[in-house]
C-alpha cells in the first residue's frame, strides 16, 4: 500500500516532531535528575536495544548514562573538554 506523497510527508513531520519533543524531555530529565534510574522514564525495550547496540557492560543505566549513550549514537565523543551533550 502506497500513501499519497502529502500524507507521507505529514506522517514524517509528525513523527519527527514527536521524537524531537521526547529527546528534549529526556535531556531535561537527565540534567535535573542525573542519578535517577533510566528505567523509570525509558521503556525497557529501548534500554535493552541501546545497551546491546553500544555494547555496554551495565544492565541498568542512570538518566545521565542513558543520555550520554544516546548522544554517542549521534557522534558525541564524550571527551573531557566536550561538556554535556545536547
Interval 49-85: pLDDT, tens: 999 999 988 878 999 999 989 998 888 787 877 777 8
Residue 81 lies in a domain: no
Residue 47 lies in a domain: yes
Q: What is the DSSP string of the chain?
A: ----HHHHHHHHHHHHHHHHHHHHHHHHHHHHSTTSBGGGTS-HHHHHHHHHHHT-S-SS-BHHHHHHHHHHHTT----TTS----
pTM for the whole thing?
0.76
pLDDT tens per residue, range 3-29: 666 777 788 878 888 989 998 999 999
Q: Is 62 a domain residue?
A: yes
- What's the structural domain count of the chain? 1
53 found inside a domain: yes
Q: Band of the pLDDT at 86, cuts 50, 70, 90?
A: confident
What is the span of the domain harbouring residue 25? 5-73
* Residue 59, pLDDT score: 79
Domain-embedded: residue 85: no
Amino acid at each position: 500500500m502506497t500513501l499519497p506523497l502529502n500524507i507521507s510527508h505529514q506522517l514524517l513531520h509528525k513523527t519527527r516532531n514527536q521524537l524531537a519533543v521526547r529527546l528534549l524531555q529526556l535531556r531535561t530529565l537527565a540534567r535535573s535528575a542525573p542519578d535517577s534510574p533510566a528505567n523509570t522514564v525509558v521503556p525497557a525495550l529501548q534500554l535493552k536495544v541501546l545497551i546491546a547496540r553500544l555494547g555496554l557492560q551495565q544492565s541498568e543505566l542512570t538518566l545521565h548514562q542513558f543520555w550520554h549513550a544516546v548522544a554517542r549514537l549521534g557522534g558525541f565523543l564524550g571527551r573531557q573538554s566536550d561538556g554535556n551533550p545536547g
